Amino acid sequence: MANHKSAEKRVRQSEKLRLHNKYYARTTRNLIRKLRGTTEKAEAIEMLPKVSSMLDKLAKKNIIHANKAANLKSSLTLHVNKL
């Protein structure tokens, strides 16, 4: 365990940040799953910008890698266009 005050604070901060990142990553994953499960084109077209925006925000904050966000957006766009 940490012996310095600053190290103890860092442990608290990193735990809080980890939970915050986990929440947003999980929320985005659930939306992606919901979008992939959608069979209605109108609903999928409506959801795509929201999901893309969330992926961009996660990539911007380094919660996920920028290339992963781009790959997910590309595959989701292809999925929506095939509907």
Cα–Cα dist 38/32, whole Å: 10
Q: CB–CB of 32/76 below 8 Å?
A: yes
Taking 80 as the threshold, does the pLDDT of residue 15 lie above it? yes
User: What pLDDT score was predicted for residue 3?
Assistant: 82
- CATH number reported for the structural domain that contains residue 61 in this entry: 1.20.58.110
Q: Which domain, by its residues, includes 25? A: 5-82
Question: Mean pLDDT for the chain?
Answer: 94
User: What pLDDT score was predicted for residue 1?
Assistant: 65
Which residues, including other chains, have CB under 8 Å from residue 11's CB and lie 6 or more apart?
A: 2
Average pLDDT of 67-80?
96
Domain count for the chain: 1
Taking 70 as the threshold, does the pLDDT of residue 48 lie above it? yes
Taking 90 as the threshold, does the pLDDT of residue 41 lie above it? yes
